Amino acid sequence: MNTKVILENTPDTSLINNTLNKIDYSDTYATTNHLDSLEKITNMIFANFPNWVTIMMKFRNTIVKIFDLKTQKPSDYNTDFKVGGYIGYFKIYEIMSNEIILGANDKHLNFRVSVFNSQELTYNIKVSTIVQYNKRWGKIYMTIVKPFHQLIVKKMVRNACKNSNTRISN
C-alpha cells in the first residue's frame, strides 16, 4: 500500500489554534484513515525517531548548546500518558478524545504539535505544528530548521501510517 501524506491547513476546530498567544509559523500534514487510538498513533509518530533523525537531533543539540537552548530531557521527564507526561521529547499539554497536544517552550521559541482525528472519511489524522517566536533568534532558528522540520514530520507521519492499522478508502 502506498501511504500518502498531504500538506494542508490547520483544522479550524483543532485545540492547537488556541494554545499559544500568537502563531508565527504553522503546518499540517494529513494522512489516511486510522483504526489505531490517538495515543498509539501519537506514540508511533513521536516516541521512536528513525536513526537519521536521532543523528540530526544530536548535531542540532551540539550547535544550539552554544546558545544556551534546551538540549537535555527536563527534570520532570516521565513517559506516563497523561497531561504533564512526555511522548519522545515532547511534553503532553492536553489529551482529548479527538486530539493530543504536545510541545515545548524554550528561550527562542515555543511550539505545539497536535495529533488530531478530524473524523473525515479520508486524511482524518492531521499532525499540526505551530510556532511562536520569543525573540529574533527564534525566527532565525526556524528559518534554518524549517526545511528539516518539514521533511522529518512528513516522513515520521508516513512511517507511522505504514505501521498502523489503516482502512483503505475509495
Neighbours of 49 (CB within 10 A): 17
| pLDDT tens-digit profile, the chain (170 residues) | 456 788 777 777 778 888 999 999 999 998 876 677 889 889 988 887 778 888 888 888 788 777 777 777 878 888 899 999 999 889 999 999 999 999 999 999 999 999 998 777 667 889 999 999 998 999 999 999 999 999 999 988 888 877 666 543 32
Distances in Å between the Cα of 98 and the Cα atoms of 82, 108, 151, 158 are: 15, 30, 25, 20
Q: What are phi and psi of 97, to 5 degrees?
A: -65, -30
Class of domain 5-162 (CATH, top level):
alpha beta
What is the domain partition of the chain in residue ranges? 5-162
What pTM was computed for the model? 0.85
